[in-house]
């Protein structure tokens, strides 16, 4: 072997040993107890622009902003005792909006005829949505209404003054804005039992003897509008303080000195109590049966007629009368079946067929 070849081989061996020493040195540097430094991230930035990551870490959290909600595009549709309300609700803030949508009916003096809840809602900040709610409003109430107020709240729709979380929208029953110069809308004033007088109270029964109703006249004795609900309570005797049945019996909203004749169906939870009831009392208060009877409101007394007892007939799902299960001797008239028309006998004789 020439000297030149030997020199080249040894030089190659030295290069391999040098590389091994370098790798061993790196292992020593990155061995246990040593932290390997990550390579610096290479980011391409536009000239004059600071790193965005630093700005995000240092930025403070954005606070939610609450702003009053807004009503728009309101329409009303009244039929019988049903009221349908359509409206758009806008949340101009950044915070989530939640609560109840409320409706107040006002008369020609601005006094409240009725305050009620339309429904619940949830609306994300910076958005708007259209809602369609349905409520029960007596026809007589809607006929007396001259304006309507709409607002949202997180409390009670009947709280007065209203704790609104929205702008209060004041419109006509047509949905159009109230023209200037009209009466200012007032707040709810709860009626007292002394505001009402009941008279001409009568119990009624249908011809079949299976349904009962009550008719009465209620008058507003106060100097302002008074709204309330009647409650009929049934007792087993004159001196018994506890009633065995109670049922709402009509609602009313009357201007000062106004009166109304009302007829309403009597519905007992247990119809058999008609056999035990001796006395009924009709009460008129702002909350109906939610108000208890007391010394200041004893109600209008009505003695139950002896003929008003547990109905003798019951109606099955097919609409046919059934025997009273408690009275097996009861008889129900069943109409006779109509005779079946019979076809004339068939004949193929020439005289009968004309051939």
Q: What is the pLDDT of residue 61?
A: 64
Within a 10 A sphere around the Cβ of 28, how many other Cβ atoms? 9
Alpha-carbon radius of gyration of the chain: 42
Q: What is the pLDDT of residue 62?
A: 66
Q: How far apart are CA 115 and CA 251, in angstroms?
A: 13
Handedness of CA 142, 144, 150, 151 (dihedral sign): negative
Q: How far apart are CA 302 and CA 214, in angstroms?
A: 10
Q: What is the pLDDT of residue 112?
A: 98
DSSP H helices in 74-230: 139-144
Any idea which residue has 């003897």 for tokens?
A: 209
Reply yes or no on domain 70-171 having CATH 2.60.40.10. yes
Judge contact between 255 and 146, C-beta under 8 A: no
70-171 and 193-303, same CATH topology: yes
Listed as ranges, residues in the chain with pLDDT below 70 are 1-62, 312-355
Buried b (16+ CB within 10 A) or exposed e, 121-149: bebeeeeeeebebeeebbeebbebbbbbb
Q: What is the pLDDT of residue 186?
A: 96
Q: What is the pLDDT of residue 166?
A: 98
Angle at 106 between CA 214 and CA 253, to 5 degrees: 15
Q: Where are the beta strands (DSSP E) in the chain?
A: 70-79, 82-90, 97-106, 112-123, 128-136, 147-153, 169-171, 196-205, 212-220, 226-235, 245-254, 259-266, 279-285, 300-303, 314-315, 321-322
Q: What is the pLDDT of residue 49?
A: 43
Judge contact between 186 and 161, C-beta under 8 A: no
List the chain domain ranges. Answer: 70-171, 193-303
Sorted by sequence, the CB contacts under 8 Å of residue 273 that are 6+ apart come out as 234, 244, 245
Give the full edge-to-edge strand order of the sheet including 97-106: 112-123, 97-106, 147-153, 169-171
Compute φ and ψ for 140, nearest 5 degrees.
Answer: -65, -30
Q: Which helix (H) or strand (E) holds 53?
A: helix 52-58
Q: What is the pLDDT of residue 292?
A: 80
Q: Where are the beta strands (DSSP E) in 239-303?
A: 245-254, 259-266, 279-285, 300-303
> CATH homologous superfamily for 193-303?
Immunoglobulins (2.60.40.10)
Side-chain half-sphere CA neighbours of 192 within 13 A: 7
Q: How far apart are CA 158 and CA 188, in angstroms?
A: 7
> Which residues sit opposite 87 in a β-bridge?
131
Q: How far apart are CA 116 and CA 302, in angstroms?
A: 32
Any idea which residue has 């009633």 for tokens?
A: 243
């Amino acid at each position: 072997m020439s000297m030149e070849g030997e020199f080249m081989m040894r030089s190659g061996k030295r290069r391999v040993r040098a590389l091994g020493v370098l790798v061993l040195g790196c292992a020593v540097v990155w061995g246990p107890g040593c932290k390997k430094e990550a390579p610096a991230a290479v980011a391409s930035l536009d000239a004059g622009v600071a790193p965005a990551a630093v700005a995000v870490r240092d930025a403070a959290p954005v606070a939610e902003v609450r702003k009053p909600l807004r009503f728009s595009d309101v329409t009303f549709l009244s039929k019988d005792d049903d009221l349908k309300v359509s409206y758009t609700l806008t949340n101009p803030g950044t915070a989530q909006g939640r609560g109840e949508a409320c409706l107040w009916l006002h008369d020609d003096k601005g006094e409240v005829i009725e305050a009620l809840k339309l429904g619940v809602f949830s609306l994300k900040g910076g958005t708007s949505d259209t809602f369609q709610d349905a409520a029960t409003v007596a026809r007589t109430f809607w006929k007396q209404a001259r304006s309507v107020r709409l607002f949202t709240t997180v409390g009670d729709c009947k709280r007065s003054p209203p704790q609104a979380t929205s702008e209060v929208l004041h419109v006509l029953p047509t949905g159009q804005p109230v023209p200037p110069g009209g009466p200012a809308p007032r707040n709810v004033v709860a009626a007292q039992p002394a505001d009402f007088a009941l008279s001409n109270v009568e119990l009624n029964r249908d011809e079949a003897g299976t349904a009962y109703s009550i008719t009465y006249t209620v008058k507003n004795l106060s100097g302002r509008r008074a709204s309330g609900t009647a409650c009929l309570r049934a007792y087993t005797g004159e001196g018994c303080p506890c009633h065995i049945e109670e049922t709402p019996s009509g609602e009313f909203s009357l201007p000062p000195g106004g009166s109304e004749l009302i007829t309403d169906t009597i519905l007992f939870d247990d119809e058999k109590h008609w056999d035990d009831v001796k006395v009924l009392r009709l009460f008129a208060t702002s909350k109906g049966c939610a108000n208890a009877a007391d010394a200041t409101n004893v109600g209008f007394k009505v003695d139950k007629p002896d003929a008003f007892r547990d109905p003798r007939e019951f109606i099955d799902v097919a609409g046919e009368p059934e025997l009273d299960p408690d009275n097996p001797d009861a008889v129900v008239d069943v109409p006779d079946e109509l005779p079946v028309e019979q076809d004339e006998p068939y004949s193929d004789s020439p005289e009968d067929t004309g051939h």
